[in-house]
Amino acid sequence: MYQRRLLASTALCALMLGATPVATFAETPPDTLVQAWSIDDIISLDPAEIFEFTASEIAGNTYETLITYDPKNVSDVFGKAADSWTVSEDGMTISFTMKADRTFASGNPITAEDAVFSLVRAVKLNKSPAFIIGQLGITPENADEMIVQTGDMTFDFKMDKAYSPSLALYCLTATVASVVDKKLAMEHEANGDFGYEWLKTNYAGSGPFIIKDWRPNEAVILERNENYSGEAAPMARVIYRHIPETSSQRLLLAKGDIDIARNLTAEDIAALKDDANIKIESGVKGSLYYLGMSQKNEYLSKPQVRQAMKYLVDYDAIANTIMSGKVKVHQAFLPEGFLGAYNENPFTLDIEKAKALLAEAGLADGFTVTMDTRNTPEITAMAQAMQQTMAQAGITLEIIPGDGKQTLTKYRARSHDIYIGRWGPDFQDPHTNSSTFAYNPDNSDEATSKPLAWRNAWDIPELTASTDAAMLESDPDKRAEMYIADQKKVMEEGPFVIYAQEIEVLGERANVNGVIVGPSFNDNNFSKVTK
Amino acid sequence: MTTRTNRGRRGALWIRKAASVTGTVAVTFLGLLIVTFLIGRVVPVDPVLSVVGDRATQAQYDAAYRALGLDKPLVEQFWIWLLKVFQGDFGNSFLTTRPIAVDIARVFPATLELATVSIVIGTVIGIPMGVWAAVNQGRWIDHVVRVVGLIGYSAPVFWLGLMGLLLLYFKLDLVSGPGRVDITYEYDFTPKTGLFLIDTAMQGAWGAFGNVVSHIILPASLLGYLSLAYISRMTRSFMLNELSQEYITTARVKGVPEWRIIWVQAMRNAAVPLVTVIALSYANLLEGSVLTETVFAWPGLGLYLTNSLQNADMNAVLGGTLVIGAIFVGLNMVSDLLYTLLDARTRKR
């Protein structure tokens, strides 16, 4: 008797706890775009500090830079907050005129005073992206003299040298050159910080959306900017939900609980391809995947070994199988789409050739080397593929898995053998990558400049001089030729095995239209999206 | 006179007891913080990189290094941090840029809610299961309960979560997917306590309440199942011990109904050690379950602390450690108190 009662009470408890309302809310509101993305990289919302993927994209949709370019054709540069500009005869001053009758989301008018304030504050705050403007000869000490307001809607931007005009202009398309609402930011200034502490978590821009809320590791909510001076965005809200697990993103997308999934793996993409409710959108990004080989390593410092390593990567298998659809083969340090990008891929998997090169280096029996590898599934899979192909030439590649920050710490300290990395350009000018892959003014451990060439201890006075010269070349054709020559040199001799260029892939519900996937994250745009 | 002396003696006893508890708690916390602080400093991650990113110049790097106080000796760093904590300032997280207290106040309710529902599920089902198994020792029911427990112990929570989502959310549409509430309902209520079940109920947002329930039920059942596995095994063991005691035989001889023997007489004694088992399970759940929080996109303490530790965000890690320490100490005290209520013998001591 008591057993039956016990059984009944247990069943009742289970039933009560299991009796949940049936959940059939598989649709997002028609005026809201919901995206699932891993957004834990955001550390600031201040354009003077933003340098991470997610925050860059948010800034691209909520702030306006002085000038911009067409994401489909980056050589087409045009004014956004600026109406026009002229370059002085000596090539050292750009005079800007701002567009009239435009306002910030706050309702304050956008003037030259705001533009000057934004650029000067970015240089003076001297956060990570400040070098983008700083490399034009503008320092916290001279910024007030170099960036000068000349009228209500005009200002001069002076440089210390006659840099290539395209370099200067592309620098001003970067997030760090976003126009900030001076009046609003200064209302929140504390201890002469130009409103930095406040702006880290708040908003003072003029883009098609405003940043309504950022809940770290949870969500970012953008709302339509009702004071936007351009065409109003069809979506009233864009919501980024932090969904770190890609399988969860895939389930949510397939179910219709989100409109866009941002971190789908190659496997997820393949599984969703046949779903009529889903479409896959992609865009070529500027990020490159590469191996950095330390020249402090006795084996890797041999030129034949560096060459051999380039024949020991199965480029096609990585692009077509492991990363299927998420990368394309690319071997030069300038990504496809950049001025002067060299798009030939001379290296293929060739074990025999690699063996011959190793024998030439006196290492016919191979050697053992370690590779610091970020423990994400995709990077690990690529590393394992390389481990297999290198083993065929007698090289024992020991993979040292680690968290992203952990492997980076080691890489920056130059205590790695090989580092498998990813590098994204900071702006659309070739100098951005040239100044890291082909530039190393001081190879000592105490150097103040630590580009990728330094991290791999590659001492290259000639290439460094060539990079310096290319940034001053005003003729685009000549400049492109200089970069092509440098890329070939790095390809042949360099300690980098550049093997792929990123393709960003978005899984979207079929009713989502108008998403722009640009070459850099701040070009990804949702202001024309309809559902 | 005698009464006053007794009272005085009892008062002194209480003061001594309180002082001893405070001392133990203080030493526990200090030890906990020192260990956490040292672990944070030996983790091979450069915290400056999390602040300035990969592209910073050496000057920017050095400035951030100094701003984080990393140029000072380790002992001094800890001392400065400790002094600030005594003033109620836990510092800011450099990942979220907000004060630690604000961050924890944001993420802890999510974990608290999930853990509480989970422990209720684990207890309400686990105890009857354990009793049932004990009463039917060696029979098929006992074996079934054992297998159910074993699965709960051994199945990876990550896999269980994904399978649960696939079946109950994706295929059968019985529950909602990852997250705490659907976008449609997010603006129907104002999060005041951060416990969405309570917030929605208090504000009469019943649609949102139903949605919150449909979101929490799967991760809570999953975590509840893991607690259930432990609680049911321990209940079985405690009950078996009680059921073999002489007072049970005496009760049976006297004709006391079997349900009363089990649920009142045996359970009263088995409940004493069970309190500790449940309190520990609850404390474990309150630490936050990183994998469950990842699969279910649950913005709780586990995910927050893991992310902070991976980025060497030590203010956040130390703040979180304090909270977890406080939970363990608090729950230990509560279970001690419950001991004295449930077990007359401990009161006499």
Q: What is the CATH number of the domain that holds A213?
A: 3.40.190.10
For chain B, which domains are there? Answer: 109-312+338-348 (1.10.3720.10)
Query: For residue range B268-314, what is the model confidence (pLDDT) as tens digits?
Result: 888 888 988 998 899 888 887 888 888 898 989 988 888 888 777 88
Q: The tokens of A235 are what? A: 């979506």
Q: What is the pLDDT of residue A21?
A: 45
Domain of residue A254, residue span: 25-41+207-277+510-531
In the beta sheet, which residues pair with residue A368? A396
Domain end, chosen from A199, A233, A249, is at A199
The domain boundary residue, chosen from A199, A222, A251: A199
Among A75, A73, A38, residue whose Cα is nearest residue A54: A38
Is residue A15, in this structure, part of any structural domain at all? no
Residue A87: per-residue pLDDT:
94
Report the residue from A29, A128, A239 with minimal CB separation from B56. Answer: A128
**Claim to verify: residue A30 and residue A117 sit in the same structural domain:** no
pLDDT at A449: 81
Strand bridging mode A496-509 / A278-293? antiparallel
Whether A241 and B311 lie within 8 Å, measured CB to CB? no
pLDDT, position B176: 92
Q: In terms of domains, do A290 and A259 share one?
A: no
**Residues 129-158, chain B, touching A (beta carbon < 8 A):** 129, 131-132, 135-136
> Considering only A80-94, A496-510, B15-29, which range has the smallest mean pLDDT?
B15-29
pLDDT band at residue B341 using 50, 70 and 90 as cut-offs: confident
- Give the residue from A240, A234, A205 showing the smallest Cα distance to A222: A240
Same domain, A194 and A216: no
pLDDT of residue A62: 98
Please tell me which of the candidates B124, B136, B257 has its beta carbon nearest to residue A17.
B124
**Are residues A217 and B165, on separate chains, in Cβ contact within 8 Å?**
no
Within a domain: residue A10? no
Check: CB of residue B91 under 8 Å from CB of residue B100: yes
Confidence at residue A18, expressed as pLDDT on a 0 to 100 scale: 45
Domain CATH number, residue A394? 3.10.105.10
List Cα–Cα distances, A446 to A319, A391, A449, B58, B335, in angstroms.
38, 36, 9, 10, 57
Q: A-chain residues within 8 Å CB-CB of B132? A: 3, 6-7, 10
Average predicted confidence (pLDDT) for chain A: 92
> Does A52 map to a domain?
no
Chain B residues with CB under 8 Å of A13 CB are 124-125, 128
The rounded distance, in Å, linking the Cα atoms of A213 and A525 is 19
Closest residue, chain B, to A128 (C-alpha): B56
Residues of A with Cβ-Cβ distance to B45 under 8 angstroms:
403, 405-406, 409
Percentage of the residues of chain A whose pLDDT score is greater than 90:
81
Pick from A199, A224, A243: which residue ends a domain?
A199
Predicted local confidence at residue A514, as pLDDT: 95
The strand order across the sheet containing A147-149 reads A82-87, A93-98, A154-158, A147-149
Clarify whether residues A155 and A172 are in a common domain.
Answer: yes
A229 and A129 in one domain?
no
Q: Are residues A495 and A525 in the same domain?
A: no
SS3 per-residue string spanning chain B = CHHHHHHHHHHHHHHHHHHHHHHHHHHHHHHHHHHHHHHHHHCCCCHHHHHHCCCCCHHHHHHHHHHCCCCCCHHHHHHHHHHHHHCCCCCECCCCCCEHHHHHHHHHHHHHHHHHHHHHHHHHHHHHHHHHHHHCCCCHHHHHHHHHHHHHHHCCHHHHHHHHHHHHHHHCCCCCCCCCCCHHHHCCCCCCCCCHHHHHHHCCCHHHHHHHHHHHHHHHHHHHHHHHHHHHHHHHHHHHHHHCCHHHHHHHHCCCCHHHHHHHHHHHHHHHHHHHHHHHHHHHHHCCCHHHHHHCCCCCHHHHHHHHHHCCCHHHHHHHHHHHHHHHHHHHHHHHHHHHHHCHHHHHC
Question: What is the band of A11 on the pLDDT scale with cuts at 50, 70, 90?
Answer: very low
- The per-residue pLDDT for range B184-222, each reduced to its tens digit, is 888 889 988 999 999 999 999 999 999 999 999 999 999
**Do the beta carbons of residue A196 and residue A125 sit within 8 Å?**
yes
Distance of CA A490 to CAs A122, A215, A286, A493, B139, Å? 33, 43, 18, 5, 74
* C-beta of residue B286 within 8 angstroms of C-beta of residue B111: yes
In this complex, the residue of A13, A242, A448 whose CB is nearest that of residue B58 is A448
pLDDT value, residue B347: 59
Condensed to tens digits (0 to 9), the pLDDT of residues A129-183 reads 999 999 999 999 999 999 999 999 999 999 999 999 989 999 999 999 999 999 9
The CA-CA-CA angle for residues A511, A517, A518, to 5°, reads 160
> B178: which chain A residues are within 8 Å (Cβ-Cβ)?
243, 245, 248, 251-252
Q: Is the Cβ pair A241, B51 closer than 8 Å?
A: no
All residues at 6 or more sequence positions from B11 whose CB lies less than 8 Å from its CB, including other chains? none
Please tell me if residue B190 touches chain A, with a CB cutoff of 8 Å.
no
Q: How many domains does chain A have?
A: 3
Nearest to B49 among A3, A217, A405 (CB): A405
| Integer Cα distance of A275 and B227 in angstroms | 38
* Burial (CB count <10 Å: 0-12, 13-18, 19+), residue B1: exposed
pLDDT of residue B54: 75
Looking at the structure, do residues A239 and A303 belong to the same domain, yes or no?
no
Predicted local confidence at residue B83, as pLDDT: 86
> Do A241 and A171 sit in the same domain of this protein?
no
Inter-chain residue contact B178 with A448, CB threshold 8 Å: no
A4 is a domain residue = no
Tokens of A201: 């978590």
pLDDT, chain B, mean: 85
Q: Does A48 map to a domain?
A: no
Burial, A488: exposed, middle or buried (Cβ in 10 Å; 0-12, 13-18, 19+)?
Answer: middle
Residue B88's pLDDT is what? 77
Contacting residues of A for B103, CB less than 8 Å apart: 216
